[in-house]
């Protein structure tokens, strides 16, 4: 009789694997009748003969890999993993080949429009991408999904999300609280996207360990971002010097995405947008891709398209 304990990574919640009422443990126990399986905290211990333990180890590694990749393990997934001889059960997800991330509660996060799908293809072959288009076209959401996918697939070690802290008709000095309280509202869309894609406890842990960092653009100065997926959102509100500073933070094995809407620039009138200038300066570099999203990429309420068109007809900003 032998026994072996399997410790889970701190970033893996056993509930994602075994279910809230340990329903998956029952499935495992029925599949390995010669083993005694005991779940304790962040580990599972098995007792039985060595051959059964070896087979169990192969399956538990496949289950952990599946949970890490997709964020959850359903009873159907578990059954497929147990009866399949391979460590990855890709065939049951063939119909979901365009899924970027399996978000919270099994939500499938995909590129929905032609240009969003172009963003996906582009970042697979290029290390730097500019996604430019009006609000509501999903450019930020898609970029964050690509970053989360890269982190889950271990293509990068961290995600850096940043925005210029530029006032859009409001004054930071009049907002209550300390500096973090004043800046968080500017970064809220990034938090919202992440909460859609990563369970709350795991997201909190990623941020505590600085695997995911969200900070104003000014905080990027002097850094070198190696093994990172970095996103500059609202790039139209970065000055030329700020944008140049961000782009030159790129380190080894890094992916950079800049998103922005050049029709909604909140900089002072005498301060040109660094994004507008970057389009002209960098467009000849073949390793950098530019994708321009349009009203056809709107993923918000159908009224958004009509509202934008109405403002355009009246030349209103």
Is the pLDDT reported for residue 236 higher than 80? Answer: yes
* Domain extents in the chain: 2-96, 99-313
Write a three-state SS string for the chain. Answer: CEEEEEECCCCCCHHHHHCCCCHHHHHHHHHCCCCEEEEECCEEEEEECHHHHHHHHHHHHHHHHHHHHHCCCCHHHHHHHHHCCCCCCCHHHHHHCCEEEECHHHCEEECCCHHHHHHHHHHHHCCEEEEECCCCCCHHHHHHHHHHHHHHCCCCCEEEEEECCCCCCCCHHHCCCCHHHHHHHHHHHHHHHHHHHCCHHHHHHHHHCCCEEEEEHHHHCCCCECCEEEEECCHHHCCHHHHHHHHCCECCCCEEEEEECCCCCCCCCCCCCHHHHHHHHHCCCCCEEEEECCHHHCCCCHHHHHHHHHHHHCCCC
> Average pLDDT, stretch 55-77?
75
Is the pLDDT reported for residue 313 higher than 50? Answer: yes
User: Could you give the CA distance from residue 164 to residue 233 in angstroms, rounded to a whole number?
Assistant: 8
User: Could you give the CA distance from residue 64 to residue 42 in angstroms, rounded to a whole number?
Assistant: 12
Instruction: Of 49-53, 184-188, 310-314, give the range with the top mean pLDDT.
Output: 49-53
Torsions phi, psi for 229 (to 5 deg): -110, 110
With cut-offs at 50, 70 and 90, classify the pLDDT of residue 92.
very low
Q: What is the pLDDT of residue 43?
A: 80
User: Could you give the CA distance from residue 275 to residue 281 in angstroms, rounded to a whole number?
Assistant: 10
The answer to whether 39 touches 19, Cβ cutoff 8 Å, is no
Q: What is the pLDDT of residue 216?
A: 85
Give the pTM. Answer: 0.68
Cα of 119 vs its chain's centroid, Å: 14
Q: What is the pLDDT of residue 243?
A: 95
Q: What is the pLDDT of residue 282?
A: 96
CATH of domain 2-96: 3.30.1370.10
Is the pLDDT reported for residue 37 higher than 80? Answer: yes
With cut-offs at 50, 70 and 90, classify the pLDDT of residue 72.
low
CATH of 99-313, one of 3.30.70.100, 3.40.50.300, 3.10.20.30, 3.10.180.10: 3.40.50.300
For residue 6, which of 52, 51, 56 has the smallest C-alpha distance?
56
With cut-offs at 50, 70 and 90, classify the pLDDT of residue 86.
very low
Residue environment code for 88-103, b if the CB has 16+ CB neighbours within 10 A, otherwise e: ebeeebeeeeebbbbb
Q: What is the pLDDT of residue 20?
A: 54
> Average pLDDT, stretch 189-202?
88
Q: What is the pLDDT of residue 93?
A: 45
Q: Which residue has the higher pLDDT, 100 or 160?
A: 160
Q: Which residue has the higher pLDDT, 181 or 135?
A: 135
Angstrom distances, CA of residue 308 to CA of 64, 127, 137, 301, 317: 46, 32, 12, 12, 10
Q: What is the pLDDT of residue 88?
A: 45
Is the pLDDT reported for residue 179 higher than 60? Answer: no
Reported as a single tens digit per residue, the pLDDT across 215-231 is: 888 889 999 999 999 99
> Average pLDDT, stretch 270-298?
92
Reported as a single tens digit per residue, the pLDDT across 255-275 is: 999 999 998 898 888 899 999
Q: What is the pLDDT of residue 241?
A: 94
Low-confidence winner among 38-42, 110-114, 222-226, 297-301 (lowest mean pLDDT): 297-301
Q: Which residue has the higher pLDDT, 276 or 185?
A: 276
As a whole-number percent, the residues of the chain with pLDDT over 90 amount to 36
Averaged confidence pLDDT in the chain: 82
User: Could you give the CA distance from residue 314 to residue 317 in angstroms, rounded to a whole number?
Assistant: 9
Q: How many CA atoms lie within 13 A of 235 on its CB side?
A: 29
């Amino acid at each position: 009789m032998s026994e072996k304990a399997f410790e889970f990574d701190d970033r893996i919640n056993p509930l994602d694997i075994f279910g809230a009422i340990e329903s998956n443990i029952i499935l495992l126990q029925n599949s390995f009748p010669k083993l005694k399986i005991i779940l304790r905290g962040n580990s599972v211990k098995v007792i039985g003969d060595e051959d059964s333990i070896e087979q169990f180890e192969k399956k538990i590694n496949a289950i952990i890999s599946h949970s890490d990749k997709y964020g959850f393990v359903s009873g159907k997934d578990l059954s497929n993993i147990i009866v399949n001889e391979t460590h990855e059960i890709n065939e049951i997800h063939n119909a979901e080949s365009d899924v970027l991330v399996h978000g919270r509660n099994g939500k499938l996060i995909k590129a929905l429009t032609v240009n969003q799908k172009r963003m996906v293809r582009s970042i697979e072959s290029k290390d730097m991408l500019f996604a430019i288009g009006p609000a509501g076209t999903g450019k930020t959401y898609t970029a964050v999904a690509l970053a989360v996918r890269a982190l889950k697939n271990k293509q990068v070690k961290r995600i850096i999300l940043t925005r210029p802290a530029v006032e859009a008709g409001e004054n930071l000095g009049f907002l209550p609280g300390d500096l973090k309280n004043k800046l968080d509202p500017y970064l809220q869309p990034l938090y919202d996207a992440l909460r859609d894609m990563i369970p709350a406890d795991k997201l909190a842990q990623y941020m505590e360990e600085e695997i995911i960092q969200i900070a104003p653009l000014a905080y990027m100065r002097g850094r070198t971002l190696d093994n990172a997926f970095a996103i500059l959102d609202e790039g139209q509100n970065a000055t030329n010097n700020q944008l140049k500073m961000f782009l030159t933070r790129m380190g080894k094995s890094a992916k950079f995405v800049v998103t922005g809407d050049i029709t909604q620039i909140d900089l002072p009138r005498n301060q040109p947008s660094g994004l507008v200038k970057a389009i002209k300066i960098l467009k000849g570099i073949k390793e950098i891709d530019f994708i321009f999203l349009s009203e056809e990429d709107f993923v918000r309420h159908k009224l958004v398209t009509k509202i934008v068109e109405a403002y355009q007809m009246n030349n209103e900003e």
